[in-house]
Amino acid sequence: VPTGSVAQAAGTASYTCLATRAADGETGRFAGTVNTVLRNALAVAVPICAWMAAIAEPLIRFLFEQGRFTRSDTETCAFLLVLMLPGVLFWVVHQIVSRSFYAYEDTLTPTIIGTATTVIFLPIYWLFTRVFGAPGVAVAGVLGIGAYTVVMAVVWQKRRGKASFSGLGVFTAKAIAAATLPGVFAWATGVKAATLMPEAPVFGAAAAFTLGSLVFAALYLPLAWKAVPGLLDPFFPIVRKIFRRK
């Protein structure tokens, strides 16, 4: 869900503007746009990933733990989801950087890098699957998209300069730090809430992810507002649109 709703959406929405900047030869404004889009997309993706990691087990239990889908299946699925969530951040960067290449009418470079990464990681997928099973597939997938994204970003910087990624590492680290503690408390709240209704697992799961979500929001929003200036900026237009509709 975060990959489609954040990464692909940011890449698609920004492409027209990037293509216009590239066509007009506005190198500085192009780099500034890429940097802004990356910051805004990561500012949204980081808390979503932290929140989903915190409530993964009760959410999956509520949605799927019925019939043949057992508690063991829930725990396995939740664990795999948590392993795969870091890959969303790489997908965010990948979607925007790849469209930056496209804006300059270069579709070949991302294709070559992606094909080479796939070939290199095929034996890694096989090895991790044999050794670790399903978790190995998840980890290999994150490593694969991570390598693809990093190489593409390095190639971009060598050709177009580092301005597009200026300050992005520090910003992302601060965003992750701001979301970590709320995520831990949200997870602990969900674990505790789930034990209140052991004979009603579906309702217990609903209570767990609802209370966990509320705790995450209550802690993350003021912490992000005070600790990381600009981190909540992408959310303001969304809130304004919601209230305008009402």
The region of weakest confidence among 72-81, 118-127, 188-197 is 188-197
- What are the tokens at 3? 């990959």
141/121 Cα distance (integer angstroms): 9
24/145 Cα distance (integer angstroms): 31
**DSSP structure string for 184-200:** HHHHHHHHHHHTT-TT-
Residue 243, pLDDT > 70, answer: no
Predicted pLDDT of residue 201: 72
Q: 210 and 192 in contact (C-beta within 8 Å)?
A: no
Predicted pLDDT of residue 103: 93
130/46 Cα distance (integer angstroms): 31
Burial 232-242 (b: 16+ CB within 10 A, else e): bebeeeeeeee
Give residues with Cβ within 8 angstroms of 57, minimum separation 6: 74, 75, 78, 190, 194, 208
Predicted pLDDT of residue 233: 79
Please tell me the pTM assigned to this model: 0.89
Residue 11, pLDDT > 90, answer: no
SS3 content of the chain, % helix, strand, coil (to 5): 85, 0, 15
Taking only the tens place, the pLDDT of each residue in 174-186 is 999 999 999 999 9
Q: How confident is the model at residue 246 (pLDDT cuts 50, 70, 90)?
A: low
Predicted pLDDT of residue 10: 80
